[in-house]
Every structure is written in structure tokens, then in C-alpha cells.
Amino acid sequence: MSVQERRQRERAERERLIVATARELAEEQGWDAVTTRRLAERIEYSQPVLYSHFRGKREIIGAVALEGAAELAAELRAASAGAAEGVRGRVAAVARAYLDFAERNPAVYDAMFQLDGGLVFAAEETPEALKDGFAALLETLRDVTGEGVEAGLLTEVFWASLHGLATLSRAGRLPVGDAERRVWLLVSRLAVV
């Protein structure tokens, strides 16, 4: 291994450590607790080392969001592939997986959809990880679009509905205990057969 390859590997490892530490700190104490000073203390590197990887908190949030999008896409695909109840069952499994991900990873979910991570959505320059997260939803919903319904548009409405359920549930705005009924209502009312 060349010196340059070793340095690149070490740099990538430091970046992974910074992102993992930021994510851990955000999940424990919220994003307000994530500062370059605190990250530097936790990972035992100087602040200039952090700034050599990320220009600031915004870029760190973006890196966490991209990591989370990749994880969410994998979980959605696994849920779809593992569902044994036909098309409706696959769509419901994907909805549950989405909501479970949001509940298990609130800080990551915030990085993905609530905070400014400097990422562009719904555009040509959208990062591949974000496009793949949307594609994971689209792959399941493409099979259930009715005549005259664009699969991408249905996916946007489905995603918006899931996001609303995740956000309102987390904020305590919806009664606890009806999550499964909400999923089935959403699936059935989107004309999913």
C-alpha cells in the first residue's frame, strides 16, 4: 500500500469517526449539542482537523443525512422484499419500515428532512444517496399505480404522508397506539390494491 493510499484510508476513517460521533451526540443530546469543539473533544482530534474534513456543522449534518438516506433505502428494500402479503403487504411493510426508522433515529431523521445540511432535493444535483432513498419507495409503489397516475407523483404523496405521520407522532400530536391502523388506512386510501 502506498503512502498516499494509506493517507486516503486514514482520512476516510477520520471522516467516518466524525460523522459517527456527531450522530451519536445528536441522538443523545440533540443537534444543538453538536459543536466542533465538543466533537473534537470526543474524538480527540483538534478542531482544525475537523475543519480539514468539514467546513462546519452544516456539512456534518449533510454527511449524517446522506448516511441515513443510505440506511433508510436499505431498510425499505429489505422490508419490501421480506413482505409475504402481496402488493398491499409490501407497501404496508415499507410504510412501517419508514416510520420505524424515523422513530429509532430521530436525530438522523432530522438531519435528513428537518435541518439544513446543504443538500439539494428533487433536482439533477441531488446526491445519489437521497435519490436512492426516494427510489426505494418508488420501486414498491410503481407496482400499484393506477391508470393515469404517475408513479413518481404517487410516491411523493406517499412519502409526504409518511413524513407527516412520523413528525406528528414524534411531536406527540397523534394519539399513541393507532400507528398500525394509520398505515393500513394510508395504504388502502392511496388506492393500493
Q: What is the pLDDT of residues 93-140, one digit of tens each?
A: 999 999 999 999 999 999 999 999 999 998 999 999 999 999 999 999
pLDDT score of 193: 46
Predicted TM-score (pTM) of the model is 0.92
Mean pLDDT over 25-32 rounds to 96
Axis crossing angle, helix 151-170 with helix 128-141, rounded to the nearest 10: 110
Using alpha carbons, select from 183, 78, 184 the residue that is nearest to residue 140.
Answer: 78
